[in-house]
Amino acid sequence: MIYLILGLALWVAAHLFKRVAPDLRTQMGNAGKALVAVGILAGLGLMILGYKQAEVVNLWYPPTWAVHVNNLLMLVAVFVYGMSATTGRLRGRMRHPQLTAVKIWAVAHLLVNGDLASVVLFGGMLIWAVLEVIVINRSQDWDRPEPGPAKKDIILVTITLVMFVVIAGIHMWLGVRPFPG
């Protein structure tokens, strides 16, 4: 569990570094960018290692219907994440689509995982995403981008469906069954 907690702490620190210490981050130039990238990757690696090694301590047993809610929320999370890259009509509808997607992802996974390591991982990521939005909103104004053509949103829906299938396939490859059967 210690690796999981250290990984989460490193992830949060690396992501918040440019928001909390912008002058220092600017002074560091490319070295600062590299440091943040290494911190994020190391944090991710520690979280994965810590999650895989954590002892299973069940706090609750999720109901079977939660899997269906999880899958629906995950489809929404993939779509919302994709909104950050769209140039269609949905562009600018949401200020923080990637962080909102992380929040949806975290809640979805908390619904279907009742063990302590999952609460630490997904709860920690949820807290980080909320904190990140607060810090960003306080530190900078937002210029809402102009919406683009609707056909770009159709592309977003198509990419969302493909990515959802890919993500589900990766889960099955890893031995996690995202669809009850």
Take residue 180 and report the two structure tokens written for it.
């009850």
Please indicate, yes or no, whether residues 27 and 66 belong to a single structural domain of this protein.
Answer: no
| Residue where a domain stops, chosen among 38, 54, 70 | 54
pLDDT for position 159: 94
Residues 61, 130, single domain; the answer is: yes
Q: How many CA atoms lie within 13 A of 44 on its CB side?
A: 7
Q: Are residues 110 and 81 in the same domain?
A: yes
pLDDT in single tens digits along all 181 residues of the chain? 999 999 999 999 999 988 888 888 888 888 888 999 999 999 999 999 999 999 999 999 999 999 999 999 999 999 999 998 888 888 778 899 999 999 999 999 999 999 999 999 999 999 999 999 999 999 888 888 888 888 898 999 999 999 999 999 998 898 888 887 6
Q: Do 15 and 73 sit in the same domain of this protein? A: no
pLDDT the model gives residue 181: 65
* Same-domain check for residues 44 and 90: no
Residue 70's pLDDT is 95
The model's pTM: 0.89
Does residue 131 sit in the same domain as residue 157? yes
How high is the pLDDT of residue 27? 87
Looking at the fold, whether 73 and 103 belong to one and the same domain comes out as: yes
- Assigned token pair, 15: 């992501």
Handedness of CA 28, 33, 39, 40 (dihedral sign): positive
Q: Under a CB-based contact definition with an 8 Å cutoff, are residues 152 and 86 in contact?
A: yes
Secondary structure of 57-86 as H, E, C letters: CECCCCCCCHHHHHHHHHHHHHHHHHCCCC
Return contacts of 137-142, CB within 8 angstroms, 24+ apart.
137/95, 139/19, 139/22, 142/95
Same domain, 22 and 66: no
My answer on whether 80 and 112 are in the same domain is yes
Measured on CA atoms in the order 49, 35, 13, 81, is the torsion positive or negative? negative
Q: Are residues 18 and 104 in the same domain?
A: no
Q: Are residues 23 and 78 in the same domain?
A: no
| DSSP 3-state of 146 | coil
Residues 67 and 146 in one domain: yes
Environment class of 122 (CB within 10 Å of its CB; exposed 0-12, middle 13-18, buried 19+)? buried
- Measure the CA–CA gap between 6 and 17, rounded to whole angstroms: 16
Q: Are 17 and 36 in contact (CB under 8 A)?
A: yes
Q: What's the structural domain count of the chain? A: 2
Supply the range of the domain harboring residue 73: 56-181
